Structure 1
Amino acid sequence: MTAVLDRPAPSTPPRPRAVAPRLRKTLLVAGPLLILALSLGYPLIWAVSSSFTDRSGAYVGTATWQAALGDDAVQKAFVKTLQIAALSTAGCVVVGTFLAFVLAFIPFRGSSLVVRIIESVVALPSFLIPLALGVLFGPVGVVSSATGHRFSFMSSMLGVVLAEIAFYTPFVVRPLLAAFTSFPSAHIDVASSLGAGPLRIAARVIAPRVWPALAAAAALTFLLTLNEFGIVLFTGAKDVMTLPMLIYTKSMVSSDFATAAVLATIQLVLSVSAYLLYRTIVRRFGATT
């Protein structure tokens, strides 16, 4: 009788450990953040640090800031930038609310085509709007020439505001149209059966429900118009000098990069403030609706 010896089972090679899911997610997030920090963070840091130098690049502390903030041209450009952004936003809100209300509650043949045309404006370069309006209302435009140059206003602040309203109104129409179309029609029927008129229904029933979308759209439009450069440049309004235009003039024309860095930092603060306002409105009303 032979004894059978148990052979030891062959040892399997250890499997490589899989990367933990948390570590994998960290790597996926860290890569884009690193690229963003190098491509965006470094230029911002360089611009802010350059605002504390002079035209030769020597560190002068806050001397450049004091000179820039005390310049009348900078002060006027700052006020003009806020004025144009506020007027353009108000115009976009008025026109966009009217268009969205008509498209949502007053159906007509071709309304879908109108919506597509309004949406397609966003895909166009912004400078095409002042060029198109300049053909009509410019100094040598069709309407201006036909009326003896009585309606030549494209080279003024009014022309800049009208061009920005024409370009940025879709940013108000689309969110409001989505809010209007999702509004329960039963609420309107109940209010109408109780004797409420159209204006009262719009003010008391519809407006409270679409106010979050309107506020968010207005804040976003203000942010976009605050940084608009192409429309102001192609309008040809010599008396309209905004902060983006002044930054271009100081850096590219005058080669005063230190002052341009100061203005760019101011513009950055304005933009971040407008963005934080936009996010606050979205977060606040998004949590309550």
Structure 2
Amino acid sequence: MTGLALATTAAAPARRQEKRPSRGWLLLPPVLGLLGFFGYPLVLVVLQSLESKTGEFGLSVWLDVLGSAEFRDAAWKTVALALGATAGCVVLGTFLALVIAFVPFPGARTLSRLVDTVLAFPSFLIALAFTFIYGGAGILGAGGFLYSPFGILLAEITFYTPFVMRPALAAFGQVSSAQMEVAASLGAKPGRVLRQVILPEALPSLASGACLTMLLAMNEFGIVLFLGAKDVTTLPMLVYGKGIVTFDFPQACVIAVVNVLFSLALYGTYRRLTKGGRRAAVDQA
């Protein structure tokens, strides 16, 4: 009798749960809103990229754009600047995070918050500050350097370093001090502890920060436009030139779609790395 009563009691919540009506329809309004605000304009851009100036519908505009030297040069410079900025941000952000996390000195927390404030700045403000420092009438007067690819690279590294530094700091904060103490007690030098204990634990966070930085750097527009570097045309700048300057909207839409595809691929990589980092943290916990 007792077993029968327990079975009946356990089955009652299950029956109540089965009878509970589904509320999936509540997701319909926000989904429709997202499709209207984001999906519909993107569909229009794709359709515009398939229509030539003469009104013909096909891939002729795509073939013209993808086969042009202008597009290849812009794509190469976009990827090169994004890779260079990402590498610089990973090196500088990891170094600053290591110093703040493991080197005790007065003002470490203040330095961390100071770097975080860069996240609140618009990117063109960094370019404006660089103009006051490196411009022809600036403090250092290195105008030729500022208006070159290296000036853009330095500005992007300065602006995007916190995007690597913050996840690195969070990852270093989760490294077990017992692991480091055991490694040191076994005779491992600080450099070996860093390579074999600290950095492997923080690798997923560093990789996700690098992917996010590359995603943002590949779509950077304000710094490149404000500095106006000679012979530096990235994909966002090419979209601006085709759409605003020459009013060639089909070609501008083709370049925009290519840039969106690059961004989606990088975002997918970032999401996978972020999930891997969370899974590793859960396993460690």
Establish whether TM, by shorter chain, passes 0.5. Answer: yes
Q: Which moved more, 1:273-282 or 1:210-219?
A: 273-282
Q: Does 1:263 align with 2:255?
A: yes
How far apart, in 2, do the equivalents of 1:205 and 1:22 lie?
Answer: 51
Q: Structure 2 counterpart of 1:100, which letter?
A: A
- 1:211 Cα deviation (Å)? 0.6
SS in 2 for 1:143: coil
Instruction: Map 1:147-226 to 2 at 5 A.
Output: 149=142, 152-226=144-218
Whole-Å separation in 1 of the counterparts to 2:119 and 2:20: 40
Which runs of structure 2 are paired with 1:76-91 in the superposition (5 Å)?
76-91=73-88
**Partner SS state of residue 172, structure 1:** helix
Q: What residue identity is the alignment partner of 1:170?
A: P
TM-score w.r.t. length of structure 1: 0.87
Corresponding residue number in structure 2 for 1:234: 226
Equivalent-residue separation in structure 1 for 2:21 and 2:76 (angstroms): 49
Distance 1:22 1:158, change over 3 A: farther
| Deviation per residue, 1:136-175 (Å, 9 max, x gap) | 112332201xxxx5x6311111011111110110001111
Q: Which residue of 1 aligns with 2:278?
A: 286
- Report the alpha carbon displacement of residue 195 of structure 1 after superposing the two structures with TM: 0.8
Deviation at 1:187, TM superposition (A): 1.1
The 2-side partners of 1:22 and 1:74 are apart by 54
Name the residue aligned to 1:8. Answer: none
- Cα deviation for residue 22 of structure 1 reads 5.0
The one-letter code of the counterpart of 2:276 is R
Matching residue of 1:47 = 45
Change (3 A) 1:22 1:251: farther
Gaps of at least 5 residues in structure 1 are: 1-19
Distance 2:22 2:245 in 1: 49
Q: CA deviation at 1:21?
A: 6.1
Aligned equivalents of 2:249 and 2:270: distance in 1?
31
Aligned to 2:120: 123
Q: Counterpart in 2 of 1:14?
A: none
Work out the CA distance in 2 between the residues paired with 1:122 and 1:164. 12
- Greater mean deviation of Cα atoms: 134-143 or 199-208: 134-143
Instruction: Provide the C-alpha distance between the structure 2 equivalents of 1:181 and 1:245, rounded to a whole number of angstroms.
Output: 39
Aligned residue number for residue 107 of structure 1: 104
1:4-28 CA-partner distances (Å, limit 9, x unpaired)? xxxxxxxxxxxxxxxx86543x233
Q: 1:63 aligns with which of 60, 63, 66?
A: 60
> How far apart are residue 60 of structure 1 and its match?
3.4
Write the distance in 1 (CA, Å) between the matches of 2:114 and 2:22: 47
Bigger proportion of residues as helix: 2
User: What SS does the aligned partner of 2:256 have?
Assistant: helix
- Structure 2: distance between partners of 1:227 and 1:194: 47
The CA deviation at 1:73 is 0.8
Match of 2:31 in 1: 33
* Whole-Å separation in 1 of the counterparts to 2:204 and 2:262: 22
Indicate the percent of aligned positions where both proteins have the same amino acid. 45
Q: 2:133 aligns with which of 128, 133, 136?
A: 136
Larger Rg: 1
2:146 partner SS: coil
Q: CA deviation at 1:286?
A: 3.3
Judging changes above 3 Å, is the alpha-carbon distance between structure 1 residues 254 and 21 closer, same or farther for their aligned structure 2 residues?
Answer: farther
Query: Once the two structures are superposed, what CA deviation does each residue of 1:101-130 show, in whole Å capped at 9, x if it has no partner?
Result: 000000211111111111111011111001
Provide TM-score, normalisation by structure 2. Answer: 0.89
Aligned residues: 263
